[in-house]
Amino acid sequence: MSIRWGSVRTRYEAIAINVAAGLVGSRVDAQQIFDEAFEQLMRESREGRVNFADIAAARNALLARVCEIARSPRQPSRPRSTTGNVLDLPFDPSDPEIERSSRRHGLLEAALSELEPETRRIFELRFREHQTRDAAARALGVPLAALQPREHALFEKLRHAAEGGVA
């Protein structure tokens, strides 16, 4: 299967950066690690050195490569310029995954906007503000043990919404 790398990047860049940031402690370095991992895999795929059965396999390989680079001994971060280190990836607007992804995001955003304030706050704390579960529980004023089931309920609602149902 020919992988659409624009889709891989659109869908998994943010999560791969989270994974890298968790390992190296800096989101700027994490962005560089993602760029490096992505560029390597895309090149290897185009040269036929690696093959992926589907986008999920490419995702797994991308996360694995991000971990590998993040855990390897690295030189101190040396930014290339003030413009950031963004790959100029040819974007394929005919890629159906882009449309599917937009639709899914629309459903999830609608579901998020309709959540009760406290449940939405869990999303804000954990996903947007990058708070640990411990810190999020403290911010919400609930015991740590109470947060996990609430997170679980949040994901259930959102999963249902992403599948086209009503959260």
Partner 1 sequence: MSCLNPLHQKIVPLALGELDPAEWQPLAEHLERCSSCSKELDLLADLVAIAAHPLPTPPPRIRSSTRHWVPRVAGVLIAVFVVLGLFDQYNDAKHGATLAPFADTSVPPFLITDVDGGDTPWGDEFESAMQSWDRGDFGDVEKSLGKFLDLHPDHAPARLYHGIAERKLGKLDAARADLRLVSTASQGPLREQALWNLANLELESNSPSDARKALDELVQLNGEYGERAKELEERLEVAK
Residues near partner 1 (CB under 8 A): 6, 10-15, 18-23, 25-31, 56-57, 59-60, 63-64, 67, 71, 77, 79, 81-86, 88, 91, 93, 98-99, 101-106, 108-110, 112-114, 123, 126-130, 132-133, 151, 155, 158-159, 162
Please report how close the Cβ of residue 46 comes to partner 1 at its closest, in angstroms: 19
Triad 114, 134, 122: Cα angle to 5°: 5
Which residue, 44 or 97, is less far from partner 1 as judged by CB? Answer: 97
Nearer Cβ to partner 1 (26/51) = 26
Six-digit token string for 49: 């050195």
Both tokens assigned to 166: 């009503």
Query: Minimal distance in Å, beta carbon 29 to partner 1?
Result: 8
Closer residue to partner 1 in complex, CB, 27/43: 27
The pair of structure tokens assigned to 89 is 């990836």
Q: How far is the CB of 167 from partner 1 (least distance, A)?
A: 12
Structure tokens at 27: 């989101």
CA atoms within 13 A on the CB side of 128: 7
CA dihedral defined by 98, 15, 24, 131, rounded to 10 degrees? 140
In whole angstroms, the minimum distance from the beta carbon of 146 to partner 1 comes to 16
Which single residue is written with the structure tokens 């309920």?
153
Of the pair 46, 159, the CB lying nearest partner 1 is at: 159
Q: Are 25 and 105 in contact (CB under 8 A)?
A: no
